[in-house]
Structure 1
Amino acid sequence: MNVLIWGSDTILGHGLLSMLKDIKDGVFNAIGNIEIGEIFACDAESDKDVIDEACANADFVFNLSYGFKSDKLIEGLNVHNNTCPVLLGHSVGDKSLFREYAQSNNVPILEWAPNYDMELLSVEAQVYDMLGALQCA
């Protein structure tokens, strides 16, 4: 499964990227039998060619952009008719854009919105929660 982390420059993005690399390398397998192929780490400031390749080849998207515009992500997925599942981070300010995109393109949107105090939870525990979504894909 090819994974795109949009907002890879965030704290959660760094943690998720590290765990996905460990899963891919066989160092970490505590969340089940998930095979990771390519890992794309992007954000709104990434090079257009990098975003284009990621959006063309992603099988699952983690959107952790924390309020940065997600227009480039939506545009890239749309250009490539990529209807892979997208997990929205709880603070993504562009949820309405993704809901509209999902409805018009039949894209499964998952929302990661835990019911506990985020400040009290470690980054590692938050990443475990997000990785659980890969098992649903």
Structure 2
Amino acid sequence: MNILVTGAGGFVGRNLCAQLNNIKNGKARCYGDLKIDEVFEYDLDSTSEQLDVWCQKAGFVFNLAGVNRPKENDEFMKGNFGFAGTLLDTLKKHHNTCPVMLSSSAQASLTGRFGNSEYGRSKKAGED
């Protein structure tokens, strides 16, 4: 199986990729008969061409990409909602119906202290 990890340079993504590569290389054997052929690591320095190829080949996607400390508030919606749409549109373009694991935030609940958060609204939009 080929696995695409978006947000691969972040804390969770980096550690997930390390363990997926351990499985791929036979160093982690506690996952039954899981066989990983490739781990595609998408992050800020990746290209749209790479995303296109990897979306075509992926058998599973961990979407961990997101913006949480932008310079401008409008970057929240572009990075969280916008990228989720780009990812799903690219998978659809290749008729790839593989599972996509979505990472979000408690702030997407838009309740309590998160009720008026640009970050929360962008994460909720990405979920929807």
> What TM bracket, shorter-length normalisation?
0.5 to 0.7
Q: TM-score, normalised by structure 2?
A: 0.68
Report deviation, 1:9. 1.5
SS at match of 2:33: coil
1:83 aligns with 2:97: yes
Matched residue, 2:114: none
- Partners in 1 of 2:41 and 2:27 — Cα distance? 20
Alignment check: 8 A CA contact 1:74 1:98 kept: no
Matched residue, 1:34: 34
SS at match of 1:70: helix
Deviation readout 1:1-34 (Å, 9 max, x if unpaired): 1100011121000001000111000011123221
Matched residue, 1:11: 11
Deviation readout 1:52-104 (Å, 9 max, x if unpaired): 111000000001113433232122111101110001113384554554xxxxx
- Partners in 2 of 1:26 and 1:64 — Cα distance? 24
RMSD of Structure 2 on Structure 1 (CA): 2.0
Alignment check: 8 A CA contact 1:88 1:95 kept: no
SS at match of 1:62: strand
Q: Any stretches of 5+ residues in structure 1 without a counterpart?
A: 100-137
- Partners in 1 of 2:44 and 2:91 — Cα distance? 14
| Structure number with bigger Rg | 2
Alignment check: 8 A CA contact 2:104 2:123 kept: no
Matched residue, 2:84: 70
Q: 1:95 to 1:59 in 2, by over 3 A?
A: farther
